Amino acid sequence: MYAPYVNRIIRLVYEFEEVVVNQRSKTMAENRAKLIFAARKAFAEKGFAASSMDDFTANAGLTRGALYHNFGDKRGLLAAVVEQIDSEMAVHAHEAGADAGGGWPGLLAEGAAYIKLALDPEVQRIVLLDGPAVLGDPSQWPSQSSCLQSTKLTVEMLIALGTVKQIDAEAAARLLSGAALNAALWVAASANPKDVLPKAIEAFYALATGLLNTPPCSRV
């Protein structure tokens, strides 16, 4: 007799709990985005060491509890900011490669575009200077891993087309990615980044060209 009512009540309870969970997840995502935005601004203007918890929470309109809950500490917040910016750098580089027509020219354009971003003040300070100093080896960052996989796929395609020598695709991708990353780090850390940039790009091109499957010179 009461079974239909009981089942309905149970269903309503489940629906209410689902709404609460969804709302909580939405709020957490919004708080996380606010903190990353505030931290990104503070890190770019002051650097990691000079930025305080109050810089993030006050600008985001949140408490320290929200920061600790989402990121653990200031280092965790920096990691999130670095991942966001580094992912944006990868997208920019990929777009540069597409504009160059893809293939081998695209691969070179991607590397050069990534290196050029070392002149961007935000990228320079947060990703290329504070990032490695606080978070360690950039090649181990999650965002770098996704870049590596993308480069590996491109190299595999170029090997299949005969453009690149028959070598291990992962090894080539790691060397190309590492060359672009270290060139960007060099530019960012140098006393005169604008003077160093063309040298870094020229060297990157020279190193990458060694992978080309050029036919042997004909003998006279």
Residue 77 CA: distances (Å) to CA of 24, 29, 36, 50, 184:
20, 14, 7, 14, 23
pLDDT tens, 90-145? 999 999 999 999 999 999 999 999 999 999 999 999 999 999 999 999 888 888 88
Instruction: Indicate whether 48 pLDDT > 70.
Output: yes
- pTM confidence score: 0.82
Is the pLDDT confidence value at 5 over 50?
yes
* Residue 207 lies inside a defined structural domain of this protein: yes
Question: Do residue 182 and residue 90 come from a single domain?
Answer: yes
Residue 63 pLDDT exceeds 60:
yes
Same domain flag for 87 and 122: yes
Q: Which residue has the higher pLDDT, 44 or 22?
A: 44
Number of other CB atoms surrounding residue 179 within 10 Å:
19
Q: Is 164 left (phi over 0), alpha (psi -120 to 50) or beta?
A: beta
Looking at the DSSP assignment, which residues form a beta bridge with residue 212? 164
Q: Where are the beta strands (DSSP E) in the chain?
A: none
Q: For residue 16, what pLDDT band results from cuts at 50, 70 and 90?
A: low
- The whole-angstrom distance between residue 194's C-alpha and the CA centroid of its chain comes to 23
Question: Which of 72, 106, 132 is the last residue before a domain boundary?
Answer: 72
CA separation for the pair 115, 93 (Å, rounded): 9
Predicted confidence band of residue 174 (pLDDT cuts 50, 70, 90): very high
* Contacts for 41 with CB less than 8 Å, ≥ 6 apart: 59
Task: For residue 146, give the amino acid letter.
Answer: S
How far apart (Å, rounded) are the C-alpha atoms in residues 186 and 204?
Answer: 12
Give the range of the structural domain holding residue 49, as residue numbers without chain letter: 1-72
pLDDT classification of 219: cutoffs 50, 70, 90: very low
Q: Are residue 36 and residue 89 in the same domain, yes or no?
A: no
Among 86, 39, 96, 82, CA closest to 62: 39
**219 occurs within a structural domain:** no
DSSP 214: P
Which one of 10, 42, 72 terminates a domain? 72
Q: Does the residue 220 lie in any domain?
A: no
- pLDDT at residue number 118: 96
Do the domain assignments include residue 164?
yes
